[in-house]
Amino acid sequence: MQYFSTRGGIEPVGFLDAVMMGLADDGGLLLPERFPNAADKLSAWRTLSYPQLAVEVLRGFVGNAMPTDDLTRLVERSYATFDTAEVVPVHPCGPLFIAELFHGPTLAFKDIALQFLGNLFEYVLEKRGGRLNILGATSGDTGSAAIHGVRGKKGIHIFIMFPDGRVSPLQERQMTTVPDANVHCIAVQGTFDDGQRVLKEVFNDLPFKRQYALGAVNSVNWARVLAQVVYYFWAAFRAQDATGAEAVQVAVPTGNFGDIFAGYVAAKMGAPIQRLILATNENDILSRFFNSGVYSLGTVCPTLSPSMDIQVASNFERYLYYRVGQDSARLRQLMATFAAEKRIEVPEPSDGLIAAGRGDTAMTLATIRKVYETEGILLDPHTAVGVAVAESFVADVPTVCLATAHPAKFAAAITQAVGKDIARHPTLEALKQLPVRKVLKKPERAVIQEYMMETLKQN
């Protein structure tokens, strides 16, 4: 399997090179030459355990880049860190099904991809030698999941930027209390979009990228998206088993478009998914696009679901490439226009797979309260956005909503919604007494590069 850039400016590369490249060297995002067709494999796949299913889904994209035995060992090691053998439990919640993606070490869905990616990085370095310096930007959960995926690993340093004061206190502590010497946390004076902008600027400085062996853990890295494809098949199978339905629809709370793009890939492979429901909070650039065809920048609005407080969705380019008929020249034109004018209009028709809606703070709180009172289930605010929006899309098939984080990560929002301080988890409680390590920096390329260079000199 070969990988190419959405912008058409690089020669195709193999899977392991794509993983290590992260952001394509021409500034685009990497995609596989094709999506494997899984339609004739669904009956066999639905009886597999989660790790077994992951191997089957992943190996179609890995190709001959690694032996299946090696891939199996990586997958098994990655999901052995989860607190349930199911990895992703799926259970009914009123008229919906909830797929719990938060049973990894940092209690967020990002663990599903980043435990695998951390082990994959280590595997490549063992095979090829060398070192890797990871630079990431997080709106909350990616940072801690990435850190826990590579902490203490030989030959790897990780630098994570997060918006100062704009992630939850527990999300920040999950990053800044990790004591390993290869972990470096950078609070940037701005929004997540500022951090994401700097990330792309640093990666587009190709001499710096090569000299310092930069790697990406954000969902610009194809392996991040790929690992998430698995749970769409898994969740659809579980809902089908419970209802006998021929297909499902899946509601996805998203701000950066990586999670729902994984669902798009799964559907294109033949997963029994009738529709994907994109759910945003007040930062609704994506839901506005899918309802109007206009992608226009707004101002980031802090909400109860901070991991979705994003206006520039880094994975949108991957979807846009397919929306414009896989035309790299057209894509480059659109991305240049957006960079200059902060607005593009895309008249090319949608295939109808993705529907979209917006859930505001009032809807989020009301949904948390209602689900707790009627079902006894606590939803974190991101999942509540997904459930709230899903209720607007009635269908004749079951609806699965992705639960992206443990509610204890957002205890203040839960207390506000239900009137009781009941969202706790022992892993998070233990963080409150630990010392923190972080630096405060301006979100400027030169500032971040200087910090990385000085830090690496000392290590």
What are the catalytic residues?
110
- Pick the closest to residue 402 from 110, 192, 138 (CA basis): 110
Specify the DSSP class assigned to residue 292: H
Identity of the amino acid at 341 = E
Query: CA 75, CA 26: separation in Å to the nearest integer?
Result: 31
- Pick the closest to residue 136 from 195, 207, 183, 187 (CA basis): 195
Burial of 99 (0-12, 13-18, 19+ CB in 10 A): buried
Burial of 44 (0-12, 13-18, 19+ CB in 10 A): exposed
- Pick the closest to residue 150 from 164, 163, 138, 160 (CA basis): 160
Annotate 4-63 with DSSP letters as a single string: EETTS-S--B-HHHHHHH-S-TTSS-EEESS----GGGHHHHTTS-HHHHHHHHHHHHHG
Q: DSSP strand E in 329-389: where?
A: 343-345, 354-358
Half-sphere CA count of 436, side-chain side, radius 13 A: 17
